[in-house]
A and B are shown apart, each in its own frame.
Chain A
């Protein structure tokens, strides 16, 4: 029995040793693992610290870089200011029609565009830093688009591409007056158009805007923000949604006058490959394979996207129909319409017409009452002879929307045919003129059915009698001819033939030319008017206004006019009769006469520590008739103002007035402009008046400065040295 115990104890002993060894081994393994983990952690920590260090350094670098850039840009802007000043100086000296003047204007434009590039780079960094506010003001969106298209038109034409402003469904003309950030919208559209021009070498580029009520879909986006699924996906993909823009969303949506404006820029260029479409909106990315010899900074679309987001919208590339090449950019933004939406809707229901745009435009801008839309039977007819197809289609659609009959012509032989056709119809209708009046009532049902197409279809040689009457005699015809369509002689001969056979019909011929200078000779007959290309917006309305002129004048007048026109054609082309030359002239009457005493009787206080500036400002104001008082520093100014306030309240007559406004320099010894303003404001409260105080400073007007100035209580600001014109405008704005 003892040996059993011994054996078993040996086994037990072995087991014990074995156990011990395992414990030791596992302990060792544990220690080693922990040690390794600790080492790894230390390594990671060190790497993290290094990483944080380098990020901080990079941030610091970028901050100093942007500071240096801001300082440099201040000076660059200064330089530009100097250049612009000198150019304006030269412009004043040069005769307005000379080549020098136009060259100087081009230099001016280049300077502006250079400044634009500078600003866009600044913008990019501002947007990244999240400091880009929306500047809301009232403006005319249709006019803005016209200006943009006009600006880029010639560059596009040089490349052989037509830039067309498509009125679309006409909704833009109804809602043209809006509140929004004009500059940003201009930047966005200009950017898209310049890109389109860059990447298109033939065909056309079209810009279209349509307006609609904001759809419910967008509202859903706002709700989704808080859904758990969305949160989860956000977490997983580590995406930061633009919370700022979504916060603004509900605010915009709640406004009943808020409308959704959808912009489309469509081109027939090289297009963007599908896989690259997402990337183009990233900053500094440009699709390289297709850019042959084109430069760019790749900044544009990134900034464009950020700006569109700011205004609550989205920008994307839309697929075009099969077989069409090119790209179509589409973005939508939300703007407040100045015309209350309910009013527009009510009016539209009442008159049941979409002619709003033309009518409101004519009424507001040209002062013409266009009483009601011309009904078909009145017989307006426009013949459009344009070379470019897209433009032709777009214009004919737009004009036919205004209930005016349109014939499209692309080539000269078609032109001759169309004119012949019209003449034949006239002959028929004139012979059955008596029947016309009677038939009018009977055939009113037919008018809708016949005159629904926009294209003038090929009629039979002798159209159905009833049909021709219901078409109405085309009493007034405008023929619009593109000067590029062919040599002038070839264009004018069919027109001359056409006009010869006019009877109870009036016809006006409009020639579209590339450049129209103010001193050009009046056009040779048979052309009555010359308009500058491109024909859209304002110019289009001017042309159509010619139709309304017909309406207002009686038929007899037209008869005599036509007789005269026929007479003139027989004259020698050298002896030019009084041909009317209509052009759009934009008057810039901003100059005031220097001898006007517009500030007569105003009491002004000029505060500046520098004697030269004091003298300059006071002299300028005295020249305008003001009564000027000067102060050297803030303390003196304060005393003067306080004294005048006291005198005013104690005086029994009105002769003791206080100052009408104060020009205050910001940095002065003894007491600064800010301090003085604060004290003056406190004193003013007791008397219940508010003197406009204008801050004069030599610093650039960035947001910090503006806040500073507003804090102190100043109302406006101007930069030194004093620009009298600016002061004048500012004061006038205060008055009214």
Chain B
């Protein structure tokens, strides 16, 4: 595919991510920080986010599996997840964390498990989307073009 087409589909894809609420303004802030001295900044941060989130989700699953659930621990994990997702701009993941915290305070295991399920879904979705986005970026670079900046 030629560069122009790739770039157009990149922009379309990116806009759709914003429109559908997968990403928010924070993500564009991240993009603005990327420059020639740090060409892979966004990828680095996002990979960090993936690692971090997977670890947290695992910890959450284990914590909720216990017969005596330690809700404080669960709350702490969710707080962390909320923080990291909001700093990356993963809006839908962050929004899932909010009800999670309130059911945690109510110490409702059932509801917590449901929330966890939802967060996992959202996380997988956003991970997929971001990975697709990065692949598109790589294709553009391989074809010799420049990655268009979203203003």
Interface of A with B (CB < 8 Å)? 71, 75, 78, 82, 85-86, 88-89, 92-93, 594, 610-613, 615-616, 619-620, 623, 667, 698, 720-722, 724
Contact = CB atoms under 8 A, between A and B. Distances in A.
Given A82-B91, A611-B48, A615-B45, A720 B83 contact: yes
B7 interface: no
B52 A612 contact: yes
Given A611-B48, A619-B33, A75 B18 contact: no
A620 B38 CA distance: 12
A708 B119 CA distance: 32
B41 interface: yes
B49 interface: yes
A110 to B, nearest CB: 19
Question: Chain B CB within 10 Å — which of A82, A92, A721 has the most?
Answer: A721
For the complex of A and B, list the 5 residue pairs with the smallest distance between their C-beta atoms, beginning with the closest. A85-B25, A721-B87, A612-B84, A613-B87, A619-B33
Nearest to A617: B87
B109 interface: no
Contacts of A698: 79, 82-83, 86
A390 B84 CA distance: 59
Given A86-B24, A88-B25, A89-B25, A616 B30 contact: yes
A88 B26 CA distance: 12
A620 B88 CA distance: 13
A149 B63 CA distance: 58
Contacts of A86: 18, 24-25
A612 B48 contact: yes
Interface in B68-89: 79-80, 82-84, 86-88
A89 B18 contact: yes
B49 A619 contact: no
A260 to B, nearest CB: 46
A698 B84 CA distance: 11
A619 B32 CA distance: 11
Contacts of A722: 87
B28 A89 contact: yes
Contacts of B35: 623
Given A82-B91, A88-B25, A721-B83, 13 more contacts: A71-B102, A82-B24, A93-B151, A610-B52, A611-B48, A613-B84, A619-B38, A619-B41, A623-B33, A623-B35, A667-B79, A698-B79, A698-B83
A610 B83 contact: yes
A75 B98 contact: yes
A616 B82 CA distance: 15
B91 A616 contact: no
B48 A78 contact: no
A625 to B, nearest CB: 12
B87 A616 contact: yes
28 contacts: A71-B102, A75-B98, A82-B24, A82-B91, A85-B24, A86-B25, A88-B25, A89-B25, A89-B28, A93-B151, A594-B32, A610-B80, A610-B83, A610-B84, A610-B87, A611-B52, A612-B45, A612-B48, A612-B88, A613-B83, A613-B84, A615-B44, A616-B33, A616-B45, A698-B82, A720-B83, A721-B86, A722-B87
B41 to A, nearest CB: 6
Contacts of B26: 721
Interface of B: 18, 24-26, 28-30, 32-33, 35, 38, 41, 44-45, 48-49, 52, 79-80, 82-84, 86-88, 91, 98, 102, 151
Contacts of A610: 52, 80, 83-84, 87
A71 to B, nearest CB: 7
A88 B32 CA distance: 16
Contacts of B151: 92-93
Contacts of B49: 612
B78 to A, nearest CB: 12
Contacts of A89: 18, 25, 28
A720 B82 CA distance: 10
A308 B119 CA distance: 48
Nearest to A623: B33
B58 to A, nearest CB: 17
Contacts of A75: 98
Contacts of B33: 616, 619-620, 623
Nearest to A78: B98
Contacts of B28: 89
A89 B45 CA distance: 22
Nearest to A88: B25
Contacts of B82: 698
B93 to A, nearest CB: 13
A722 B24 CA distance: 14
A93 B15 CA distance: 12
Contacts of A619: 33, 38, 41
Nearest to B19: A86
B80 A724 contact: no
A620 B33 CA distance: 6
Contacts of A93: 151
Contacts of A615: 44-45, 48
A613 B49 CA distance: 10
A287 to B, nearest CB: 40
A303 to B, nearest CB: 29
Contacts of A720: 83, 86-87
Nearest to A74: B98
Contacts of B79: 667, 698
Nearest to B32: A594
Nearest to A84: B25
A78 B48 CA distance: 25
A355 to B, nearest CB: 49
Nearest to B15: A93
A30 B146 CA distance: 106
Contacts of B38: 619
Contacts of B88: 612
Nearest to A619: B33
Nearest to A85: B25
Contacts of A667: 79
B71 to A, nearest CB: 16
Nearest to B80: A610
A117 B89 CA distance: 28
A623 B86 CA distance: 21
Contacts of B41: 619
Nearest to A594: B32
A435 to B, nearest CB: 69
A86 B79 CA distance: 24
Contact of A724 (B29, B83, B86): B29
Nearest to B150: A93
B77 to A, nearest CB: 12
Contacts of B52: 610-612
A212 B139 CA distance: 73
A637 to B, nearest CB: 18
Nearest to A89: B25
Contacts of A721: 26, 83, 86-87
